[in-house]
Amino acid sequence: MAEQEQNRTEKATPFKLAEARKQGQVARSMDFNSFAMVFALLFVLIALGGSVAMKVASLSSWLLQQSGTLKLEGPGEAVWFADVLKALLGIVVPIAAVGIVFAVVANLIQIGPIFTFVPLKPKFERINPIAGFKRIFNKKMLFEAFKTLVKFCFFVWILWAFFRSLWPTLPAAMSIDTAVIAAYLSQNGLSLLFRLGLAMLLIASLDFAFVRWTFSKQMMMSRREMKEEVKRREGDPLVRAKIRELQRENLKQAQSIGRVPEADVLITNPEHLAIALRYVRDEMSAPHVIAKGADAWAAEMRAMARKHGVPVLERRSLARQLFRSAQLDRPIPVETFLDVARVYADVAADRRNNVRHEAAR
């Protein structure tokens, strides 16, 4: 098994990739999805930030103004709470809907539409504590932890650089005018989100490429696996070769039935087998089998022979022997020479008798 793992030098076939996709194994970057969510948040804040801020300010102002009269003691006195909850949902739901749409689009961009329940099927390995411990402390998880640490340090550095550049302007924000403070916070908040979005775009691009490369390496196959896949998809090569040989024989047999009118005689079983023989004295050393068939083919050969005046003789043992051992367009077997000679003698005698009867008339 270890040797087979080391010999994986071939790219995964489309069949293996399709099978892995059915099992839910695809190259998916979670950082790309996170970037899509941040981009959605940034898009909403740019497009709807003003209206959202006005709704939040209006709701906050109303709560502050009514704070002395609002009560929660009885069910009838808490009607205002439902109105506040509806207002909050009206603010949060559109933002969450845009985030969900962007997350779905990000998954479709990465892996396309996929629908499978295989990852949801219960497996003993998932509840086995030993197997779970091995999953936690393996190379992949350690590498993921290292990636998370690097990303955390990167974001901390961006935040530190942003607030360091913002520090000299903080005294100017010390104003009693709330509109100035709100504009200052919204402007710098969007700037911070934009920088974080660019950072996440860089991380998502690198992670996307790395996940694709890792998945392609994981799906690579050895030559032995490729041969086994071919067998599984198309069957054993020996079986396929035998099937092709039988198909060629059937085609050749079907084509040979059209040569029945050229035959000297048709030997039958009488119902199940039919063999057509032809002999040219100066060209052949022995009669050749030009057509043979069984069951429906034999019936068609008999009908064609009667239609074209080819003699039909019943020779059961000879028909079975010729059908079993004789080959198309080849001389008859040596052991059938005597019996076939008697058939030709009978055919010649029948023809002489027919000529005498016609002459007597």
CATH number at residue 295: 3.40.1690.10
Q: Are 227 and 281 within one domain?
A: no
Phi, psi of 276 (to 5 degrees): -100, 130
What does the pLDDT average to over 110-139? Answer: 60
The reply to whether 267 falls in a domain is yes
Q: Are 272 and 194 within one domain?
A: no
Q: Are 132 and 279 within one domain?
A: no
The answer to pTM > 0.75 is no
pLDDT at 277 over 90: yes
For residue 209, what pLDDT is reported? 85
pLDDT at 26 over 80: no
Q: What does the DSSP assignment read for 299-334?
A: HHHHHHHHHTT--EEE-HHHHHHHHHH--BTSBPPG
For residue 267, what pLDDT is reported? 93
What does the pLDDT average to over 2-27? Answer: 70
Q: Are 211 and 281 within one domain?
A: no
The reply to whether 118 falls in a domain is yes
The reply to whether 309 falls in a domain is yes
The reply to whether 108 falls in a domain is yes
Q: Are 180 and 220 within one domain?
A: yes
The reply to whether 251 falls in a domain is no
For residue 1, what pLDDT is reported? 43
Give 155-164 contacts, CB < 8 A, sequence gap 24+.
Answer: 155/196, 155/199, 158/195, 158/196, 158/199, 159/192, 162/191, 162/192, 162/195
Q: Are 49 and 155 within one domain?
A: yes
The β-bridge relationship of strands 312-314 and 265-268 is parallel
The reply to whether 239 falls in a domain is no
Q: Are 224 and 262 within one domain?
A: no
pLDDT at 17 over 90: no
Q: Which of 62, 66, 65, 61 is nearest to 77 (CA)?
A: 66
The reply to whether 275 falls in a domain is yes
Task: Please give the residue range of the domain that contains residue 133.
Answer: 2-232
pLDDT at 139 over 80: no
For residue 287, what pLDDT is reported? 92
Angle at 125 between CA 121 and CA 126, to 5 degrees: 65
> Which carries the bigger pLDDT value, residue 39 or residue 24?
39
Q: Are 217 and 352 within one domain?
A: no
The reply to whether 301 falls in a domain is yes
Mean of per-residue pLDDT scores for the chain: 78
Query: Number of structural domains, the chain?
Result: 2
Q: Are 10 and 64 within one domain?
A: yes
What number of other Cβ atoms are within 10 A of residue 134's Cβ? 12
pLDDT at 188 over 70: yes
Q: Are 287 and 334 within one domain?
A: yes
**Interval 295-326: pLDDT, tens:** 888 888 899 999 988 999 999 999 999 999 98
DSSP state of 194: H
Q: Are 173 and 274 within one domain?
A: no
> Which carries the bigger pLDDT value, residue 258 or residue 286?
286
pLDDT at 3 over 60: no
